[in-house]
Amino acid sequence: MISVSQLTKSYAGRVAVDGISFEVAPGEIVGFLGPNGAGKSTTMRILSGYMPPTSGTATIGGKDVFRESLAVRSQVGYMPENAPLYLEMAVKEYLHFRGALKGLSGKDLRVRTGEVMELCGVTDVRRRLIGNLSKGYRQRVALADALIHRPPLLILDEPTNGLDPTQIRQVRELLRGLRPQHTILLSTHILAEVEQTCDRVVMIHHGRIKANDTPRNLTQGLRAAGTVYVELQGAKDAGKKLDALPGVRKVVTEKTDRDWQAYTLRIESNTDVREAIQELATKEQWKIRELHRQLPTLEDVFIELAASDAPGR
């Protein structure tokens, strides 16, 4: 559905997007992640036809984004981070207007307007002015706008921005339900949502792609470390001895609970030191009250990839 090759966007004195290449298959939900200023929104605007690149190529559905801009736009539903809604219009009026601009008419326009209002949960405010709605409701109206012309590709920049936890869950379920009719490129800062929603993750930093894989492979295959938590009794010099175990990167003493001492061990990826801790405790005659492993999250991977580009790394 999306094919990007060596895409670059330069401004005066700054490169926002630096020769990135990636692909998105039909029916995929792909998370597009990166810190503020990484180049996410710039890339999405280029793919949506809102701005030209400096160099490189991009196609959507086999059509060139720059040479066949109108054909591409008919296939794309784009929701920018701060959607420019018409605040003086009522919700239904606005969606009817936007649908007409996107080529719908007559009964199809009326039916589709009702469908997207129901789908995005704005039917109950359909007669209210957009300017009087909460930010969460405005986000839903913007999502309905992106969906109204049944585009095969949705490009969503922070679609859950301003929503409460219940609304975020509803958007997550909505996005899942849009497959396989829609391919989705999704930018968000809520990494837990990406892990639960996306088939694949593209991480961008300083305008360059740092990772492109499934959330599971990213958390298991990169350097990001997991942690092991253990509570011990009768453990003299346990911190030093735990730190000496193979695969342990760092030991942090957490708390003291009478005769019990808690430790968090930062470990290398693809490493499990729980058996080694058990053997050490048996040898040292320590009692174990709790021992469990916490696998690295996508947030851990994200932070470590960003840190790897920091000066001195």
Residue 96 pLDDT: 95
Q: Do domains 2-220 and 225-295 have the same CATH topology?
A: no
pLDDT at 300: 67
Q: What is the pTM of this model?
A: 0.74
The pLDDT, as a whole number, for residue 313 is: 41
pLDDT at 282: 92
Q: What CA–CA distance (Å, rounded) separates 92 from 145? A: 10
User: What percent of the chain is modeled with pLDDT above 90?
Assistant: 35
The CATH number assigned to the domain with range 2-220 reads 3.40.50.300
Each domain of the chain, given as residue ranges in start order, spans 2-220, 225-295
214 or 296, which is more confident: 214
Please list, in sequence order, all residues whose beta carbon lies within 8 angstroms of the beta carbon of residue 266, skipping any fewer than 6 positions away: 225, 227, 248, 249, 250, 251, 252
Q: Which CATH number fits domain 225-295: 3.30.70.1340, 3.40.50.300, 3.20.20.70, 3.40.30.10?
A: 3.30.70.1340
